[in-house]
Structure 1
């Protein structure tokens, strides 16, 4: 007996290919930040303050690098590429639970704002921690000229900044879980491998130079070294 299924019911799936969406510098920044934030929490709880300070300085260098890479790096890493209007971000969140194929190259409209929030909180936390340490140790030149009220405000900001960062990280992790369970989108795999299965028609994003990334990382290290001396 012949099948009655019409040819139109057997719609072939759109051809896909593995597209490189995340470059090595962006992926290294992401996972090193994960490790260092966890290490910062552990060293603070264990009162290993010297190690805690070094971790904070390393985090600050990474954030400075990411800000520079967001201006001069690969296409998917650039702020101009993924920072959308608040209206687009809200519109994207309205369809958060809709199950649909993943055709997104880089950050989506809402994810871009989360990246900005996390970077801002990391920057504030690292800078206030750098001053707070110098103030306690009486090492930085600003320790002697900054009024006590301002110094206390910076210390309080450092403590509050950690709470806000922890909350933002929790939201970030929950969003990843929601995308996986509700939409069927894997956000972790591409950040590990750098590649993502997308329709064959999708253009691979332009990639920045690794030598430029090394240069920007070195520059970031110099900036943080100077800040640790003079802040």
Structure 2
């Protein structure tokens, strides 16, 4: 696409589907857990597990702005961003601070789902598909982690929402629209003073990721019991 067009594609469809699907599924998992609807809770958990694992894969094989190498920067880069960024110049994907927010969110959500896979309730009636691979006491520890890290996830999500609100309201920097459409206005200045090109992604890598994550999720749901 020509760089003189008024908008640029900054998010590929997989990042956007991940983002909005995670919001819905996390809400379903929360609601079903509070209402003791364990079947729906497990189904939401499996879907979240698949989403997060694919997002990790896509962080290495996906489009430019989806890759961890693009948005996970060292402390020096984060401090420089905080000191110099005016909040008005568009970022090419996640900024250095937002990138670590995304990493923290992925970490806590993945921890919750992994703990849930091994969790056992106090009566030993409800359990995750991998609970047979650990002792009852270990399953109880996993259950406690499942609940404790959930609270940490709420804190991380809260900070994520506050940051979006800060850019959206105080800096008039629209972050929600591009995550829906995949595009943002170029603005007066591009990142680093250079025009940013549309992101590109590989359909082959996407299919590999989807197939691999689907197979892994099915294996996890069956407790790795194939007989």
Q: Tell me what 2:212 maps to.
A: 219
Q: Does 2:151 correspond to 1:184?
A: no
Give the RMSD, CA atoms, in angstroms.
2.3
Alignment of 1:31-42 (within 5 A): 31-42=20-31
Contact persistence 1:76–1:205 (CA under 8 A)? no
| Displacement of 1:81 | 1.0
Give the whole-Å Cα distance in 2 for the aligned partners of 1:65 and 1:78.
12
Give the whole-Å Cα distance in 2 for the aligned partners of 1:32 and 1:111.
19
Q: Does 2:104 correspond to 1:117?
A: yes
Structure 1 spans left out of the alignment, 5+ residues: 1-14
* Counterpart selection for 2:36 from 20, 32, 47: 47
Give the whole-Å Cα distance in 2 for the aligned partners of 1:87 and 1:163.
30
Larger gyration radius, structure 1 or structure 2? 1
| Displacement of 1:95 | 5.7
Q: Does 2:147 correspond to 1:159?
A: yes
| Displacement of 1:94 | 4.4
Contact persistence 2:130–2:220 (CA under 8 A)? no
My pick for the range that moved more, 181-190 or 85-94, is 85-94
| Displacement of 1:202 | 1.3
Going from structure 1 to structure 2, the CA distance change for 1:22 and 1:140 (only over 3 Å counts) comes to closer
My pick for the range that moved more, 181-190 or 70-79, is 181-190
Contact persistence 2:119–2:128 (CA under 8 A)? no
Q: TM-score, normalising length from structure 1?
A: 0.84
Which secondary structure does the structure 1 equivalent of 2:222 belong to?
Answer: helix
1:160-196 Cα offsets, whole Å, 9 max, x none, are 1110111111110000001122222111111011001
| Displacement of 1:109 | 0.2
Alignment of 1:95-106 (within 5 A): 98=86, 100-106=87-93
1:62-106 Cα offsets, whole Å, 9 max, x none, are 11100111111101100111111123223333467x4x4322110
Contact persistence 1:65–1:217 (CA under 8 A)? yes
Give the whole-Å Cα distance in 1 for the aligned partners of 2:58 and 2:70.
12
Give the whole-Å Cα distance in 2 for the aligned partners of 1:162 and 1:129.
11
